[in-house]
């Protein structure tokens, strides 16, 4: 029979110690999230109501709801997504499926990496110089495009990664029976990478929803009496709203500030939840 030597006993002891250390660190990840969420809800509770998310602010933002800010954030993110998702995905398909290693693709890849590293406030200044200059004044469209420039490189990078995860052997098998590159992409590569692609895109959407700097000078306003009528109007937004009421020196009730944060967090989490659902849906259809 197998006999436990002291050496083996020690090995198992170390194993248990190490494993529980790792598990502890993993569990530590949950703590800050729970604390943040609990604290936010605790502070925001008095002002959370249906009116809060469906009404306009009143009395110099000290009462009423934040509906126009929710509306504005939603609009900005939706437009930015409509612009960047197609560009980002198509660019990534080109880079991963078509491009050969050349000076052109090297420059593009370098641009993608560097663009991803630019701080959001610099994107904001670029947005002012480029998009606001084109549209003539700060507006939702300019803000959306600025958000788009910020999220685009990450969308390209994550899409490329999802495409690269599809085994090369599948492509070769397709090419060997005479399928063109596009046929291969359409029938084999995209269907098997779409869950990863969408996850990457949606994570960027939730990031865009939370950013303040890029929309600060390009389209978001402190207060507006009516909803934007077109993408060329300015609009309130959640992140901007939170930023302004939180820096107003205690004039706006704390529960409204926290309430805004809860709504923003809820929106981001809803997006993330959506990405998880999508991923599960497509995972079940994945074929290998």
Residue numbers at the binding site for other proteins (CB under 8 A): 101, 169-170, 172-180, 183, 187-188, 191-192, 286-288
To other proteins, the closest distance from the beta carbon of 163 in angstroms equals 14
**Which residue's CB is nearer to other proteins, number 170 or number 217?**
170
To other proteins, the closest distance from the beta carbon of 199 in angstroms equals 19
**Which residue's CB is nearer to other proteins, number 99 or number 125?**
99
To other proteins, the closest distance from the beta carbon of 171 in angstroms equals 9
Total Cβ atoms within 10 A of residue 145? 27
How many Å apart are CA 263 and CA 254, to the nearest integer? 14
To other proteins, the closest distance from the beta carbon of 147 in angstroms equals 35
To other proteins, the closest distance from the beta carbon of 165 in angstroms equals 12
**Which residue's CB is nearer to other proteins, number 6 or number 178?**
178
**Which residue's CB is nearer to other proteins, number 191 or number 274?**
191
**Which residue's CB is nearer to other proteins, number 184 or number 234?**
184
């Amino acid at each position: 029979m197998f006999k436990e030597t002291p050496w083996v006993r020690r090995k198992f002891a170390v194993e248990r110690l190490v494993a529980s250390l790792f598990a502890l660190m993993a569990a530590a990840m949950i703590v800050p999230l729970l604390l943040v969420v609990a604290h936010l809800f605790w502070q925001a509770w008095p002002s959370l109501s249906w009116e809060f998310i469906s009404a306009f602010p009143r009395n110099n933002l000290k009462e009423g709801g934040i509906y126009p800010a929710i509306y504005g954030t939603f609009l900005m993110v939706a437009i930015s997504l409509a612009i960047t998702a197609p560009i980002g995905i198509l660019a990534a398909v080109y880079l991963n499926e078509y491009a050969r290693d050349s000076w052109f693709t090297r420059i593009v890849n370098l641009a993608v990496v560097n663009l991803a590293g630019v701080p959001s406030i610099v994107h904001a200044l670029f947005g002012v110089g480029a998009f606001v200059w084109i549209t003539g004044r700060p507006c939702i469209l300019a803000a959306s495009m600025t958000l788009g420039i910020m999220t685009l490189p990450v969308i390209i990078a994550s899409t490329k990664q999802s495409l690269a995860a599809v085994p090369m052997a599948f492509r070769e098998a397709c090419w060997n029976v005479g399928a063109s590159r596009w046929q291969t992409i359409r029938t084999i590569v995209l269907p098997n990478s779409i869950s990863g692609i969408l996850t990457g895109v949606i994570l960027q959407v939730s990031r865009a929803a939370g950013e303040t700097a890029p929309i600060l000078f390009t389209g978001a306003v402190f207060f507006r009496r009516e909803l934007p009528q077109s993408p060329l109007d300015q609009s309130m937004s959640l992140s901007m709203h939170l930023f302004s009421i939180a820096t107003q020196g205690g004039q706006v009730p704390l529960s409204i500030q926290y309430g805004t944060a809860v709504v923003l967090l809820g929106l981001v989490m809803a997006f993330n939840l959506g990405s998880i659902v999508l991923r599960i849906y497509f995972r079940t259809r994945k074929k290998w």
